[in-house]
Amino acid sequence: MSLHYLVTGGAGYIGSHLVLALVEAEHRVTVLDDFSTGHRWATDGHEVIEVDIRDLAALRSALLHRHFDGVFHFAAKSLVGESAQKPLLYYQNNVSGTANLLEVALESGWGHCVFSSTAAVYGSPQARVIAEEHPVNPVNVYGETKLAMEQMLSAVHKQGAMQAVCLRYFNAAGAAPDAHRGEWHEPETHLIPNILRKAAGEDRALTIFGDDYDTPDGTCIRDYIHVLDLAQAHLKAMTMLHREGGFHTLNLGSEAGYSVREILEACETTVGRPITHEIGPRRRGDPARLVADASRAGQILDWRATRSLGEIIESAWLWEQERQNLQAR
Ligand code: UDP
């Protein structure tokens, strides 16, 4: 059945890959974005509402009484470092913006929301693998705002007004280069695009943040998940909500951990040559190891990550070469 979904932040990295998946599943999509970090080219062919979610009056005038079968909520600021420098921007955009969106959602009668959350809500891990029962204790402002957004959704669910799933992503990576989609942040802070931008010849330093962690090769271990696997999980989460309702928090990860050095080596294999890098000091707030237990998503959504690290890096490399061409224009 074809349904009509609102995707806030649909011009961004993960949101634009979800839009692809929704269109492939023959749903109708309306993208809401302020284009502060998203890309216009990523929304080509879709209805776009350009609005800043901090502006309740503008949101109301654009959306009130329109019908959507559900909302996928991605619109948020998402840089950990920036969140320490501009905490109020993060609280206004992420927390107040979500309150505004939910206000209009309730006034308009949209009852289903899949929310883009993060493993950053867990803070410093106290276990080798992180399940949803792990205590939440964010160690940066970005994580604090995402946790507040989850709690807001939970409160609205308890009121009886909204069925919701909060998806706590581990490290989203990879791309859909055949559909001209991929990661493009300015500034870029993430490991895989940073490595591949260096490999593509950008005049930039590539630094490994610390090689003295208590891990086998001394560098941090993370759980990388293909953005197309993430997109599928969102679709399944929305379908489950329509069927069963409820309020759920689910981890999305591959359950495999790779060190920074292993990622660098895998990139070198894909690119076919060594990539110049240096070892620098640890980055503040980086835990040594963050790996998901994603079994709850397996049980509730019948979902698991299917794409390998090789597929993640090959797709990201294809996209990086296309992105370089777009950037040069
Ligand atoms: N990292 C690195 N150099 C970079 C970017 C990241 O060594 O240029 C490391 C970072 O310290 C972390 C891992 O790579 O251990 C993944 O970082 P990323 O920023 O991609 O994601 P995060 O885990 O912080 O969400």
Question: pLDDT in tens for each of the 329 residues of the chain?
Answer: 899 999 999 999 999 999 999 999 999 999 999 999 999 988 888 999 999 999 999 999 999 889 999 999 999 999 998 999 999 999 999 999 999 999 999 999 999 999 999 999 999 999 999 999 999 999 999 999 999 999 999 999 999 999 999 999 999 999 998 989 999 999 999 999 999 999 999 999 999 999 999 999 999 999 999 999 999 999 999 999 999 999 999 999 999 999 999 999 999 999 999 999 999 999 988 899 999 999 999 999 999 999 999 999 999 999 999 999 999 98
| Ligand 1 center–CA 259 separation, angstroms | 10
Report pLDDT for 306: 97
Report pLDDT for 44: 84
| Ligand 1 center–CA 79 separation, angstroms | 12
Residue in the block written with tokens 């998940």: 225
Between the two ends of the chain, the Cα-to-Cα distance in Å is: 40
Mark out the alpha helices in the chain (DSSP H runs).
13-24, 56-63, 80-85, 87-90, 97-108, 141-158, 191-199, 227-244, 260-271, 295-301, 309-328
| Ligand 1 center–CA 123 separation, angstroms | 15
The structure tokens listed for 78 are 């998402």
Tell me which residues have their CB closer than 6 angstroms to ligand 1: 171, 189-191, 194, 207-209, 220, 222, 260, 283, 286
Closest protein CA for atom 11 of ligand 1: 209
Closest protein CA for atom 20 of ligand 1: 190
Which amino acid type is present at position 239? T
The structure tokens listed for 22 are 């929704």
Which amino acid type is present at position 124? S
Closest by CA position to 96, among listed 81, 79, 77, 113: 77
Report pLDDT for 285: 82
| Ligand 1 center–CA 191 separation, angstroms | 5
Catalytically active residues are 142
Pocket test for ligand 1, best of 191, 230, 254 (most atoms within 8 A of CB): 191
Closest protein CA for atom 3 of ligand 1: 208
The structure tokens listed for 174 are 């990879």
Closest protein CA for atom 16 of ligand 1: 191
Radius of gyration of the chain from its Cα atoms, rounded to whole angstroms: 19
Residue in the block written with tokens 């502060």: 36
